Amino acid sequence: AMLCVAMHCSEVAFLGGAKDEGMSSESIAMAKTALQEADAVCFDVDSTVVETEGIDLLAACFGVYEEVANLTSNAMNGNIKFQDALAARLDIMQPTVEGVAKCLEKEKPKFTPGMKQVMARLQERGVELYLVSGGFTLMIEPIAEILKIPKENIFANKLLFAGDGSYNGFDRDAPTSKS
């Protein structure tokens, strides 16, 4: 059985042993049972595995946080089609290979409390873990490395760069770029 986990960081706290007051004990019991029985688990990354939204973090590194955060909020609320919002945010940022590398060097992943332990326990049981995100492969690879999740288990958006390292779009055919 495969289980997919996509919750905001405050809702996932129970996975590490602490009960979130917003969740019923029945919901917690169902989630724990599902995790115990799963052969594979897909985790959303932004605001689930880590506490931040990768695109907002990247925007902050490129000095356009406010503009991008507003579009992120509108996209999450369904006010703008996800792919259109993604394109608009990247057009504002114009990320470069060098700029992304500097951002990743400066900004280390801030894992949701208890998440690394939950994932380690699942791996000890032989559960296959996947990271699925509307974020970017480049931003998720360091997270996967820390969690010992193979790169081929990452399903996310791919940034495209020109030969000189300048921004050249994103893979619009990736399923993760559509919603």
Residues with catalytic annotation? 44, 46
* Euclidean distance between CA atoms 176 and 106, whole angstroms: 26
* Residue labelled with tokens 């699925």: 132
* Euclidean distance between CA atoms 98 and 139, whole angstroms: 13
Is 110 within 8 Å of 53 (Cβ atoms)? no
